Every structure is written in C-alpha cells, then in structure tokens.
Amino acid sequence: MLSIKDLYARVEEKEILKGLTLDVKPGEVHAIMGPNGSGKSTLTHVLSGREGYDVTSGEINYFGQNLLDMEPEERAREGIFLAFQYPVEIPGVSNIQFLRTAMNSIRKHRGEEELDAATFLKLARQKIGMVNLDPDFLKRGVNEGFSGGEKKRNEILQMLMLEPKLALLDETDSGLDIDALQVVANGVNALRSPDRAVVLVTHYQRLLNYIVPDYVHVLANGRIVKSGGRELALELEEKGYGWLNLDDDKVA
Amino acid sequence: MATQSNPYADFHRQCVEASQSWSEQLGDNLRWLDDARSEGRSLFAGLELPTRKTEAWRYTPIAPIVQGDILRLRTTESADAPQGITGDFYTLTFHNGQLAASNIDDSALEVIPFSSADAAGQALIKEYLGKTFDAARHPFAALNAGTLQDGALIRVRKDSKALKPVQIVHTADVSGEAASSYNRVIVVVESGAKLELLETYVDTHERKVFQNTVTEVFLAANSTMTHYALNCEGANQIHTGCVFIEQQGGSHYEQHAFATGGALKRRDINVKLLGQLASCKLNGVYLAGGREHVDFHTTIEHVAPHCVSEETYKGIINGKGKAVFNGRVHIHRDAQQSSAAMNNNNLLLTNTAEVNTKPELEIYADDVKCAHGATVGQLDDMALFYFQSRGITRSDAHRMLSRAFVESVMAEMEIETAHAYVLELAERFYNEGAQEATA
C-alpha cells in the first residue's frame, strides 16, 4: 500500500528526513517511536502533503501512484487520513458542516452519491457515541473551545466517519488521560481491517498496550534505525534510546 | 476666477452651479423646497471639500467623485432599472432620484413624498428636514441639502406597527451617461411604535452612478426601529450616504448594514442617545474586492445616562480592495452608567488588500463601561491545510472560511428574504476570492 524509499525531506532549509525507508502493507499497524526532533511528525506531514515540507530525494509510492504528485486533498480522497497532533480550531464552521463537506468530497471522488443531511446526521450521531462525545459537539465550531482530549476524540470521530485506507496518527495519545486514551484506541481498533493500515507516531509505550502494533520502528536522525515487533517498544520504555548507539548527529 | 486649476475647487464650484440650475428646473410641486435648498447650497458653498488632510476622510480620497463626470441629473425614465429585494414588503422606489412608485397602504403608516406633499405635509417635513445634523461637519449631507431632488417622510403612528416591513429602493437606469441622484428619507417613529425599514441600494451594473443620500431618523420614547441598510451597488458606482438617528428615552434602534464594494462607498452613521435607557445596536458587513473602496464611519453619542450601544463590523477585503472603519464613541459628561461596546474584525485575502481601522473613544463621564477591539488578519495556512487533509479543496476551504468569518453578523438579519439576498451577493464575493487565491 505504502512504500517509502530513501526519503530526504527538509523544512526551511533544514534537512529532517535523511534516507527514510518504510513499507506498509494492508492490515498492518506500524508504531513509530523515537526521540524528540527525530522527524516523526515531519514524516506524517510529508505523507499528508503539507506545504513547506520539501522532498529533496527518494520516493513515496501509494497504491502504485507517486504520492508526491498529489495535492493534499487528493491524498485524503484516496484514503490517507492524518490525525493532527494539534487539531486546528475553526470558529464559524460547524463540526457537522465540516464533516459533511469532507465526507461528500471523498464520496464524490469515489463515484458514490453524496449523503443527504438526514442520513449523514444519523451516521454522525452513531459514530460520535463511539468516541464518547456529546452529540452537541456536532453543532459547535470545529474544535472551537474543545479541551485537548475532546480535540483528539474529534479527530478519531473524523477518522471513523471518513474510513481511511491509511490512517496516520501524530502523537494522538499525548496529553490524554487513561479514559481518552482508551477511546482513541477503541476507535483505531474499530477501524482495523485486512485492507486498512495504521501508522502511529508516539512517544510512549502505553498506547501500544491498547493498540497492539505489528511493527515498531525507531526513528532517529531522520532514518529508521531499528525495527522490531511489539517487544521493541517495551525495551525502549525500559532502557530509553541510549542503548541503540544512535550514531552520527547528536540527538536533541 | 481662479487662474490656477484645482480639480477639487473646480468640482466644488461646479456642484454649486449645478445645484442652482437644477433648482430652476424643478417642477412646481417641489418649489416649496427652494428655501431649504438655497440654504443648503450656501452652506455647501462655504465648505471645503475633504482632502487627504481632512481627518475624517484621510483614507478615503474623493477623487472618484471629483473626476467622475457625475454632475448630471437623469430625469428620463427607462424600464431597465434593477429592482430591490422581492419579499413581503411595502415598497417605495426612487428611480434616478425621483420617487417612482409606492404601494404603501397601512393604517399604522403615513407616507408623504416630498413631490406630492400638501400644505400640511410640507409643514411636517419642514419640521424635521435637516434637524439631525450639522451640515458644516458633513460636506456630502450639505451637498444633499443643496441639491435635494425628492424624498419621503414616513411616520409610524403612536403605539402601532405596520403589517409589513417597508423597503425603500434606490435604483437608476442601467445604461446611459454617468449621473447623480440626491434623496432624503425622513423617518419618524412615534412613542411606543415599531418599524422595520429596509433601504436597498441596487447595482446598476456597468453604469456609473453617484447616489447621495441622507436618512434622518427620529425615535420617540419607547419606540423601536430595525433598519437594514443594504448597499449592493456594483464596482463602478459611487455612494455617499449619511444616516442620522436621534433616540429618545427607552427607544431601541438596530441597524444591519451590508456593503459590497463600489468605486467609492462611504457610509456615515450617527446615533444620538438623547433619553435615558435608549439603546442601539449597529451591525455591519463589508466586502471589497478588485479596486473597490468601502468606508464606514460611525459615531455614537451617549448624551443621556443609562444608555447602551453595541457595534460589530466585519469586513473581508480581496484583490486591491480597500476598507476603512472608524468607530467613534462619545460619552458626554452627564451620561453616567453608559455601556458601549465596539468591535471591528477584518480579514485580508490578498497581500494587496488594505484596511484602516480606528476606534475613537471620548469619555467625559466617570462611571461608564466601554470596550473596543479591532483585528486585522489573514486566513490561517494551518486551517486551510486542515480542510485539505480532509479531502476539501483549498478553494472550498477558502469559501467556507470566508463565510464563517462574517456568519455571526449576517445571521442576525431576521428578515429572511433580505438575509438570503445579501448571502447570495456574499457567495459571489467568496467565489471570486477563492478563485483568485487558488489561481
């Protein structure tokens, strides 16, 4: 589904990704861990097409297409979803309006009919129950005045509605209490299926107690320096990153 | 005669001359206004036209008026004038500055057109005409006084309310030479009475038209008025409009202003809170693109104690458009326990868009509550990306964010047909903005 080869990317002249290679197949869950500044968030932003992230060499192939040729909205329509680390507040645009426009853009792209207001509302009410948010949140401005935890739940709600093929979670677990963490994990687990994949970026092992990954990768200095199974995360938690002898540049 | 050519001075002189000669061409039915007109003319003749050095006009050069070749009245009528808003209203239409039609028939209302006023009507009009403002401080209101073509007085009888809102449409022919029109509207709402009034200034498309209007509003004790001032003229048009409102105790005035751009559009809104417990609320939305220019100058005078004023203006500026907002709140010495809140928010869609916003507070009482805020911002890149990451194109995101910016103010227009009418104009503006931004 997703194949990243020897990727180099920079933000404002600063090279962040330096030869990253990663393969993600349908049905898999990959956890990416690593010290601050190693390039984890950059990777998710490059994948979702954020402006200002320049790929200088390497390639990203997504279902046989060159991902780097696609606009961010095309990537979303082709099934890529990024759960933001810091979801954006958009006063004046209601959650429901936002979701419906998003969903119908994607459905239209797939050649499906747009959902009418009633069908959409029914679906939204059902999914919002899964993330333990009051249905009133649908009427509020997107993320407007939401607490940190509510914002993250709202990201998961969007993910459940849009049913992506490839979900990227950028530190969705940071700052969450146990209840919210479980909601996020349940959302991701509900989405798991043989034809979908999840890449989750996290600092902490604890999320992986709820979402059991197939692979754990350590990202350092812009490259994946070690990959393993779930036990790698436990090892990292116990020993930190020091034992990996992260060579060349210093780790911030 | 001046030997040195100064276009402003020349234009000023031409205005006075035009006013004189137009006055002579007026029909017998308007002769009774001669005195008022000549008084206005001499006042205007004694004023200087505002320049960049005039503080109240610093950001709004009047060059489009001076150079517009607009000193021409159009008295012929053609059938191609655009209409106002279609809805369940009484409608009164000024066409090329002359009262063309009225279908007002309501026992709560008395409507007296200047051009068909009988002796009693003339006396009533004279009782109110020009009483709300000092012409020396409002050059274009002075011009209006000197060049007055036609007008109407609307009176709402004590403790009553019309069955429908009243719409006054200001329209003109869509083809022909540039021309100007000068109208006056006088509104008298007697004590305990209620009025919903729409003043709709419509787009005359390609044609250059200068509309100069003055609306004088007298709200007696405990009366209520909701006033829609919808400036929907197009990019070639020029408008200077003044609204003067005098409020007695316990009265409430609410204005919903909407303005798309024009070559020059200047609105002066002046409220005097003269009686205790009077309140006013001014809402405004302005949208300027291309090379359009919109200017809102508001003045609220808290003269009596225990009055409340609230104003919220929001603007979106695109292309090389320019907007000006100047909000003055003057709290007089005896106006204790006044409460005044003013907000102005602007969204600039391009690097070439410009806005000048200035709150002016003059407070002479010591026990008052005043708040003001002004912001100027751009669309947030991160917000645009957030939309895109959910499959929404950048241009759709642009449209939704623009709409969201003014939504809270627009939504307060309770007359649904009027709300829908301006929403459609606004949508056109958002589309242009989205196209430009993603081109």
Nearest to B360, CA basis, from B324, B393, B330: B330
| pLDDT given for residue A2 in this prediction | 96
Distances (CA, A) of A38 to A224, A225, B82, B113, B367: 10, 11, 64, 77, 58
Assign A247 a pLDDT band (cuts: 50, 70, 90).
Answer: low
Q: Which of B375, B380, B387 to mutate to test the interface with A (most CBs of A within 10 A)?
A: B387
Find all residues with CB under 8 Å of A178, minimum gap 6, and list them.
Answer: none
CB atoms within 10 A of CB A209: 14
How far is it, in rounded angstroms, from Cα B238 to Cα B70?
9
Cα separations (Å) of B81 from A58, A130, A193, B94, B98? 63, 58, 64, 10, 13
DSSP B17-30: HHHHHHHHHS-GGG
Higher pLDDT, A49 or B76: A49
Residue A249 has pLDDT above 60, yes or no: no
> What is the per-residue pLDDT for B3?
56
What is this model's ipTM?
A: 0.94
Residue A246 predicted with pLDDT over 90 = no
Beta bridge partners of A141: A94
SS3 A136: helix
Of A90, A143, A154, which to mutate for an interface test with B (greatest number of B Cβ within 10 Å)?
A90
Task: Determine, for residues A82 and B389 on separate chains, whether the beta-carbon distance falls below 8 Å.
Answer: yes
Give all strands of the β-sheet with A65-66 in edge-to-edge order: A14-24, A2-11, A53-62, A65-66
Amino acid identity for residue B359 in this structure: P
Q: Which of A72, A92, A109 sits opposite B407 (nearest CB)?
A: A92
Three-state secondary structure string covering B28-81:
HHHHHHHHHHHHHHHHHHCCCCCCCCCHHHCCCCCHHHHCCCCCCCCCCCCCCC
Q: Is the pLDDT of residue A142 over 60?
A: yes
- List the structure tokens of B177: 């030479």
pTM confidence score: 0.90
Q: Span A110-121, mean pLDDT?
A: 92
Are B119 and B29 in contact by the 8 Å Cβ rule? The answer is no
Rounded Cα–Cα distance for residues B272 and A85 (Å):
51
Q: Which among B381, B383, B400 has the least Cβ separation from residue A51?
A: B381
pLDDT along chain B (439 residues), means of 10: 74 94 88 94 94 93 92 77 92 91 91 95 97 94 95 97 96 89 97 98 88 97 98 93 98 97 95 98 97 97 98 96 97 97 96 96 96 94 95 94 93 96 95 81
CB A9, CB A21: distance < 8 Å? no
Dihedral sign (CA A226, A229, A232, A237)? positive
Which of B287, B283, B265, B319 shows the shortest CA–CA distance to B429?
A: B287
Query: A 116-145 residues with CB below 8 A of B?
Result: 141
